[in-house]
Amino acid sequence: QEQLVESGGGSVQAGESLRLSCAASGYDGASYCMAWFRQAPGMEREGVASIDHYDSAVYADSVKGRFTISKDRAKNTLYLQMSSLRSDDTAVYYCAAAAWSWICPPLTRSRYGYWGQGTQVTVSS
């Protein structure tokens, strides 16, 4: 059974960095489209970044130049390196996968069928 498990969340000060990880199991997740979403309290879940089979990445405008998505196929793991964190980056971050898709669909929640349980990121100003 396909499973995604996030780790690496925590509490940091504004301007600091944090790296999230998402380990896929049950299928060769890192060979297909994977993505990060986030959801702040009272807000809709929004797409942060995606990366496809060819390692082509797409970012939300709000994180461009600060966040980097990558994956390690040998470890079947997805990463999100977050730098210059701001208070409005505070959210639960979710790993998602458009399983069996080499090319990523748009960063819309309904287009991703597999989800992790989420990891909390809190940025204090």
User: Digits of tens for pLDDT over the chain (125 positions)?
Assistant: 889 999 999 999 999 999 999 999 988 888 899 999 999 999 999 999 999 999 999 999 999 999 999 999 999 999 999 999 999 999 999 999 998 899 999 999 999 999 999 999 999 99
Give the 3-state secondary structure of residue 106. Answer: coil
Cα-to-chain-centroid distance, residue 97: 10
**End-to-end Cα spacing for the chain:** 40
Q: Tell me the residue type at 79.
A: Y
DSSP state of 3: E
Please report the pLDDT score of residue 100 as a whole number: 85
Q: What is the DSSP string of 20-41?
A: EEEEEESS-GGGSEEEEEEE-T
Separation of alpha carbons 123 and 113, rounded Å: 28
Count of Cβ atoms closer than 10 Å to residue 76 Cβ = 17
